[in-house]
């Protein structure tokens, strides 16, 4: 008889994230429309929420003042999607201090090891606490006793502490989408004990890679008295006093089949053909990133410039297409980064452009899914070189789209993805301009056979460990009583690399 696995099917699911998975827009006539987001997380979680019943709690992304209209709009929308969206409204001051402040100017840079970018302001911390408390009240209003609560990401670490103080006894899981930093960096945080105490209250905490979990465990050993750590593999257990926390490694992924199928549609094929026509006799090197200083865009541009200076035979033969999606527009560092990128692009184009060839095509905008897919399909090489990244879905999307299995992936060893994709990709240190330039040269000249072997390996891994595997293995771990009994991601070995 087949052994049944408890994935908590009998429990309703309550997802909590900073943002609701929707895009709200207002027409010129001040009429609101709501569309469900298209990201991997909502694709994977929506069917689970529909099957089990559930609620997604989050900020709708709107400013103060739109509260009533948004509430009415969402109530109507809930009926059509089969689960509930519960908005948590934020004031302009909260958006300033909790979202832009503590989340994006303290935790985000600190957890990406960029201590010089951090602001440690007490008013940011206070707002973070207030908003986490506000989210806790919203969650408490919506739950039943045996619902499973799954909290997402660094904006809401303290949420559990308020839920427990409010008497909520439900099982609660947390997934950290960004890296967990090494202890000597983590300990700079003035509220390091409070943040760690909250993390230790969860029943299950998920990290992207063994590296992140190992960093977390070393911080626990350093800052906490007598933790008992047992088990090895995908899920281990940390016991402190009588509380047991399970810590697992769950590399997030994408709906790989969806990306492969999109690449086969006539619309994407046409767009891809159009790109090839416009770049005749040239290979395309593609970078796609949100505007963020963690993504290593200036470093990548310098590496491309170095490649152009070192290998003149690439002139006219290789074009770098860099797409940047606007992000966190009102934070000063992001404006400064945009200016630095634009200065470098214009310097490089000024240095090398020749009749019929512009070395860098730069786009600063969001692309539709079919446009993005056609760039992924057309590019012979993708260059994904973050200085540090929790996972990096662009790397996975590029490979999943590459149905002809002829593309080459140049990947930063500091992207979470590297743990899973190191044998198929060309791994580089994004700070090493010379090595990155050499990697570009190597990718341009790689034989068709080697490209196929590498890409096949990458695609097999991404198909097997897709976003649906991720959701299932997290939920299975939350409800199982076993440790380490889950499938391990091929191509990297959490056993060898666990804390
Ligand atoms: P992000 O830092 O946002 O996510 P990433 O994982 O690369 O980074 O996801 C970016 C997404 O934006 C991709 O799905 C990509 O397709 C999309 N995108 C990028 N450029 C675009 C463009 N020009 N137009 C349209 N779409 C574009 C955080 C962490 C990551 C982690 C994810 C998921 O920082 O490390 O992988 O969460 O956990």
**Do 401 and 259 touch, CB atoms closer than 8 A?**
yes
* Ligand 1 touching residue 178 (CB < 6 A): yes
* Ligand 1 touching residue 344 (CB < 6 A): no
Distance CA 309, CA 475 (A): 51
| Ligand 1 atom index nearest CA of 367 | 24
Q: What is the pLDDT of residues 238-286, one digit of tens each?
A: 888 888 899 999 999 999 999 999 999 999 999 999 999 999 999 999 9
Distance CA 340, CA 249 (A): 36
Architecture of domain 13-253+468-496: 3-Layer(aba) Sandwich (3.40)
Residue 23 pLDDT class (50, 70, 90 cuts): confident
* Ligand 1 touching residue 391 (CB < 6 A): yes
Instruction: Pick from 104, 259, 290 the residue to mutate for probing ligand 1's pocket: most ligand atoms within 8 Å of its CB.
Output: 290
| Ligand 1 atom index nearest CA of 369 | 25
- Average pLDDT over every residue of 416-439: 96
Encode 119-141 in three state secondary structure. CCCHHHHHHHHHHHHHHHHHHHH
- Six-digit token pair at 327? 């992000």
Q: Does the annotation mark 177 as catalytic?
A: yes
Kindly tell me if the per-residue pLDDT of 194 is higher than 70.
Answer: yes
* Ligand 1 touching residue 153 (CB < 6 A): no
* Ligand 1 touching residue 384 (CB < 6 A): no
CB neighbours of residue 39 within 10 Å: 15
Domain with CATH 3.40.50.2000 in the chain: 13-253+468-496, 256-464
- Six-digit token pair at 45? 């979680």
Residue 40 pLDDT class (50, 70, 90 cuts): low
pLDDT at 5: 63
pLDDT at 236: 82
Average pLDDT score over the chain: 91
Distance CA 369, CA 381 (A): 19
Kindly tell me if the per-residue pLDDT of 485 is higher than 70.
Answer: no
- Six-digit token pair at 152? 């997402």
408-412/426-428 β-pairing:
parallel
pLDDT at 484: 56
Chain centroid offset of residue 97 CA? 22
| Ligand 1 atom index nearest CA of 416 | 35
- Six-digit token pair at 130? 């207030």
Instruction: Pick from 153, 376, 393, 416 the residue to mutate for probing ligand 1's pocket: most ligand atoms within 8 Å of its CB.
Output: 393
- Six-digit token pair at 151? 């909290």
Kindly tell me if the per-residue pLDDT of 3 is higher than 60.
Answer: no
Distance CA 294, CA 386 (A): 6
Distance CA 192, CA 157 (A): 12
Strand residue runs (E) in 227-359: 228-230, 235-240, 243-249, 283-290, 318-325
Q: Kindly name the residue from 77, 117, 177, 306 that is annotated as catalytic.
A: 177
Q: What is the pLDDT of residues 461-483, one digit of tens each?
A: 999 999 999 999 999 999 887 66
* Ligand 1 touching residue 212 (CB < 6 A): no
Q: What is the pLDDT of residues 216-238, one digit of tens each?
A: 999 999 999 888 888 877 788 88
Name the DSSP class of 158: T
Residues of the chain with pLDDT > 70: what percent?
94
pLDDT at 120: 98
> What's the CA dihedral at 398, 402, 405, 409 to 10 degrees?
-10
pLDDT at 355: 94
Kindly tell me if the per-residue pLDDT of 438 is higher than 80.
Answer: yes
Architecture of domain 256-464: 3-Layer(aba) Sandwich (3.40)
Between 38 and 90, whose confidence is greater?
Answer: 90
| Ligand 1 atom index nearest CA of 327 | 3
Q: Which helix (H) or strand (E) holds 107?
A: none
The region of weakest confidence among 116-125, 129-138, 330-339 is 330-339
pLDDT at 6: 66
- Average pLDDT over every residue of 131-143: 97
Q: What is the pLDDT of residues 52-74, one digit of tens each?
A: 889 999 999 887 777 888 888 88
Tell me which residue of 362, 335, 337, 338 sits closest to 348, measured CA to CA: 362
Distance CA 277, CA 271 (A): 10
Helix axes 448-464, 393-401, angle to 10 degrees: 120
Q: What is the pLDDT of residues 94-124, one digit of tens each?
A: 999 999 999 999 999 999 999 999 999 999 9
Q: Ligand 1 mean position to 119 CA, how many Å?
A: 24
């Amino acid at each position: 008889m087949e052994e049944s696995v408890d994935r908590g099917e009998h429990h309703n699911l309550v997802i909590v994230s900073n943002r609701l998975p929707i895009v709200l827009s207002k027409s010129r006539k001040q009429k609101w429309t709501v569309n469900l987001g298209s990201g991997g997380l909502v694709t994977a979680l929506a069917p689970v929420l529909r099957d089990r019943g559930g609620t997604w709690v989050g900020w709708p992304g709107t400013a103060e003042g739109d509260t009533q209209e948004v509430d009415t709009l969402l109530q109507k929308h809930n009926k059509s999607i089969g689960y509930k969206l519960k908005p948590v409204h934020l004031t302009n001051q909260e958006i300033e201090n909790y979202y832009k402040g503590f989340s994006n100017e303290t935790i985000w840079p600190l957890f990406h090891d960029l201590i010089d970018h951090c602001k440690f302001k007490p008013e940011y911390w206070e707002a973070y606490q207030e908003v986490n408390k506000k989210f806790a009240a919203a969650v408490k209003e919506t739950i039943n006793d045996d619902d499973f609560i799954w909290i997402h990401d660094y904006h809401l670490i303290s949420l559990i502490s308020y839920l427990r103080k409010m008497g909520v006894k439900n099982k609660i899981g947390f997934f950290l989408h960004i890296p967990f930093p090494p202890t000597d960096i983590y300990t700079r945080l003035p509220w390091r004990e409070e943040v760690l105490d909250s993390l230790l209250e969860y029943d299950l905490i998920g990290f992207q890679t063994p590296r992140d979990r190992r960093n977390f465990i070393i911080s626990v050993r350093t800052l906490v008295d007598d933790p008992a750590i047992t088990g090895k593999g995908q899920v281990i257990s940390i016991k402190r006093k009588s509380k047991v926390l399970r810590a697992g490694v769950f590399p997030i992924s994408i709906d790989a089949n969806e990306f492969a199928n999109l690449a086969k549609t006539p619309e994407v094929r046409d767009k891809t053909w159009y790109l090839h026509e416009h770049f005749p006799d040239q290979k395309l090197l593609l970078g796609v990133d949100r505007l963020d200083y963690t993504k290593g865009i200036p470093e990548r541009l310098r590496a491309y410039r170095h490649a152009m200076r070192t290998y003149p035979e690439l002139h006219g033969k290789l074009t770098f297409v860099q797409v940047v999606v606007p992000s966190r527009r009102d934070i000063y560092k992001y404006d400064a980064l945009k200016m630095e990128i634009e200065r470098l692009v214009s310097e490089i184009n000024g240095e090398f452009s020749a009749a019929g060839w512009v070395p860098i095509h730069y786009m600063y905008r969001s692309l539709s899914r079919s446009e993005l897919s056609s760039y992924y399909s057309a590019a012979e090489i993708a260059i994904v070189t973050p200085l540090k990244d929790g996972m990096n879905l662009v790397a996975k999307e590029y490979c999943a789209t590459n149905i002809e299995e002829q593309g080459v992936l140049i990947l930063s060893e500091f992207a979470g993805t590297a743990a899973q994709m190191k044998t198929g990709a060309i791994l580089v240190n994004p700070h090493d301009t010379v090595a990155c330039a050499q990697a570009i040269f190597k990718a341009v000249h790689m034989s068709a056979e080697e490209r196929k072997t590498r890409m096949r390996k990458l695609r097999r891994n991404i198909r097997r460990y897709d976003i649906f595997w991720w959701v299932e293995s997290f939920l299975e771990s939350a409800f199982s009583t076993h440790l380490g009994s889950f499938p391990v991601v091929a191509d990297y070995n959490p056993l060898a690399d666990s804390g």
